[in-house]
Amino acid sequence: MSRQPVRRSPPRRPGAPKRRKASLGDRLIAKLPISHDTLRRAVTWSMLGLGGAVAIAAATWLGLPGMVGDAIAEGAGRAGLRVEQVDITGLKRMDRETVYAIALENQTAQRPLLAVDLEAVRKRLLAYGWIADAYVSRRFPDRLLIHIVEREPAAIWQNEGQLTLIDATGTLLDPVDPNHMPAGLPLMIGPGAAQQEDGYQKLLAAAPALRPRVKAATWVGNRRWDLTFDTGETLLLPQDGAAQALVKFAEMDGAKPLLGKGWVRFDMRDPTKLVARKPGPESSRADADAGENGGGTTSEMRVARVGDV
């Protein structure tokens, strides 16, 4: 019976390093779509940026002179932590260059990233009419991130011949070119009308059937509304109980159409009755609101209790 020869491993050379099995972390890093050197640099910059931010915060908390924080930021900037790119998101109507100029105060990039006062940048952005909110942050080693929440246009305000786009709070957004009026937005007329936008929207919400027919609204005497419809008529509402009067008018128009029937104005300043007027030759009777809207005359005046028209 023959014997099988015993195989022996070749002797390890003196000083040769042992092969180490790759760890789970090494295997995961190897699968990343970036090189090991790039990942190492990113980690280095992040740690340097975090350390610099902590140092500046500590100097501020201890009440040390501002030059200490500036020196730290400049040192980090020389090491490579400078603003190379500004990423802006959330824009719908605003110009990107405007946001960029506000954020960096028209200064060029290459500023030390740690020297950028994030809260100061946010406050400057919030002072601009279109911006309702803003979020500002750093991304090491070289990016400034800005996310904008824009205001939504709600109406066009006309005052002393000037047209201005406003939002639901009455904040002024942008001038409006009369030759390029935005479609679908109501026109609000008169001094102080912009500050009444919220109340105006609640007024229209009380009579949704009439909302799409309202072409313009005039804030009269800083106390009440005149509504102008797409058929040309004007409805004078009372100072108190305007919503109830508008609802009643909508009910009457629904039961027996009033709009588009040749009337020029409806007066409900007295909530207990409706005065309907048609155009005609001048007469001696002036409107009760002559001091607000100027005198007006008609050939026919129909007065009835509310509900009887």
Sign of CA dihedral 295, 296, 301, 307: negative
What is the structure's pLDDT at 116?
A: 86
32-150 maps to which CATH number? 3.10.20.310
Segment 148-202, tens digit of pLDDT: 999 999 999 999 999 999 998 899 999 999 999 888 898 999 999 999 999 999 9
pTM greater than 0.85: no
Burial tier of 203 (Cβ tally within 10 Å: 0-12, 13-18, 19+): buried
Supply 114's token pair. 């740690």
Segment 289-302, tens digit of pLDDT: 433 444 444 444 45
Higher pLDDT, 261 or 59: 261
- State the number of CA atoms in the 13 A half-sphere of 152 facing the CB: 5
- CA neighbor of 271 nearest in space, from 294, 295, 239: 239
Segment 105-139, tens digit of pLDDT: 766 556 788 888 899 999 999 999 999 999 999 98
- What is the rounded end-to-end Cα distance, in angstroms, of the chain? 127
| Radius of gyration of the chain from its Cα atoms, rounded to whole angstroms | 36
Is pLDDT of 51 > 90?
Answer: no
Find the range with the poorest average confidence among 99-103, 107-111, 214-218.
107-111
Domain ranges of the chain: 32-150, 153-305
Share of the chain above pLDDT 70, in %: 63
The reply to whether domains 32-150 and 153-305 share a CATH topology is no
153-305 maps to which CATH number? 3.40.50.11690
